[in-house]
Structure 1
Amino acid sequence: MANTYYQVYIQVVFAVKYRAAVLDQAWRKEVFAVMGNLINETGCKTIIVNGVEDHVHCFIGLKPSVSISELMKTVKAKSSKYINDNRFLLNRFEWQEGYGVFSYSHSQIDAVYNYIKNQEKHHTKSTFKEEYVMILDKFEIPYEERYIFEELK
């Protein structure tokens, strides 16, 4: 077969270090746009990037030759640098280490897109931690709660 055909949809979810609520509404859409561009530069397709003060959801059409771990390493590092270079915060900004990654079928695109699009509305009813645990449970991913999030020491 001469060509490679693929259809891989993933959602990646990650938090601000210590789940600090510092992604200000005044500039977070700009940062989400930067993240979308970083994803697209790898040959993957950004479907939507959105989140609230303490975390981000990226919904991506993944190119099979791109490693999810390398993609996230780049997106998190370069978006942190962007936030710090633009001095959006008084203190140094960092993402929490790690992330959750979840796969979806083509028939689920609209539902996942709308879920991510409506993050602000969704989080009037639940916290990020509640949301994240619900996703892990939905995907039947075993976890130890004490290792889900880095806690401020």
Structure 2
Amino acid sequence: MPQSLSKNYIHLTFSTKYRKDSIRKEDLPEMFSYISGILKNVDCPSIIVGGITNHIHVLCVLNKNIALTKMVEEIKKSSSKWIKGKGIYYQWFAWQEGYGAFSVSQSKVDVVTRYIGGQEEHHKKISFEDELKIFLKEYGVEYNEQYL
């Protein structure tokens, strides 16, 4: 085959430092839009970006020419710099180290899209930490409890 073809859907999630509610609710839509722009710039089109005041979820298509870690680094670095420019409230803003990234089947894209779109309602019932543990168990990812 004379060309390289791929389509890998990635569900990415990461939190604010110490999982603090560091992002003001009114700034979330702009944050989601900014992250979508970052993804567009690295040629990893977003399907949806959502979350709440202490963590973000992204569903995107991972470009075959960029490593997942590089994509995440670019999202965190650029969005952190951007939000710090929004005023003194964000002067100490930081993302927590690490992230969770999970492959998504084409047949589950709509399910994950709805899930990410409903984060505010979803997190009235379950914490981010418990949610992450469910993902890790579902995907068979081994982890050290102390780092969650």
User: Shared topology, TM-score over 0.5?
Assistant: yes
Identify the residue that residue 13 of structure 1 maps to in structure 2.
Answer: 13
1:137 alignment partner AA:
K
In structure 2, the residue matched to 1:135 is 135
CA separation in 1, counterparts of 2:10 and 2:22?
Answer: 25
Q: Which runs of 4+ in 1 moved over 4 A?
A: none
Is residue 67 of structure 1 aligned with residue 72 of structure 2?
no
Q: 1:45-84 alignment to 2 at 5 Å?
A: 45-84=45-84
Tell me the amino acid that sits aligned with residue 55 of structure 2.
H
Which amino acid is the alignment partner of residue 47 of structure 2?
I
Distance 1:58 1:90, change over 3 A: closer
Give the alignment of 1:1-150 within 5 angstroms: 1-87=1-87, 89-148=89-148
Q: TM-score, with normalisation over the residues of structure 1? A: 0.93
Output the aligned Cα RMSD.
1.1
Q: How far did residue 113 of structure 1 move?
A: 0.5
Contact 2:83–2:90 under 8 Å retained in 1: no
Runs of 5+ consecutive residues of structure 1 not aligned to the other structure = 149-153
More helix by share: 2
Cα-to-partner distance string for 1:38-76 (whole Å, 9 max, x where unaligned): 011111110111000100001011111111111111110
CA contact (8 A) 1:50 1:119 kept: yes
Determine the C-alpha separation between the residues in 1 that align with 2:8 and 2:39: 14
Q: Give the 3-state SS of the residue equivalent to 1:26 in structure 2.
A: helix
Residue 143 of structure 2 aligns with an amino acid whose one-letter code is Y
User: Is residue 83–residue 89 contact of structure 1 (8 Å, CA) maintained in 2?
Assistant: no
Question: Is the alpha carbon distance of 1:43 and 1:91 closer, same or farther for their aligned partners in structure 2, counting shifts above 3 Å?
Answer: closer
| Residue type at the aligned position of 2:29 | K
Match of residue 151 from structure 1: none
Cα deviation 1:79-102 (Å, max 9, x = unaligned): 000110111625410000110110
Quote the offset at 1:3 in angstroms: 2.9
Distance 1:139 1:100 in 2: 11
User: Which amino acid in structure 2 is aligned with residue 124 of structure 1?
Assistant: K
Return closer, same or farther for 1:78/1:114 CA change in 2, 3 Å cut-off.
same
Query: Taking structure 2 as the reference length, what is the TM-score of the superposition?
Result: 0.96
Residue 115 (structure 1) shift = 0.5
Q: Whole-Å Cα distance in 1 between the matches of residues 73 and 38 of structure 2? A: 11
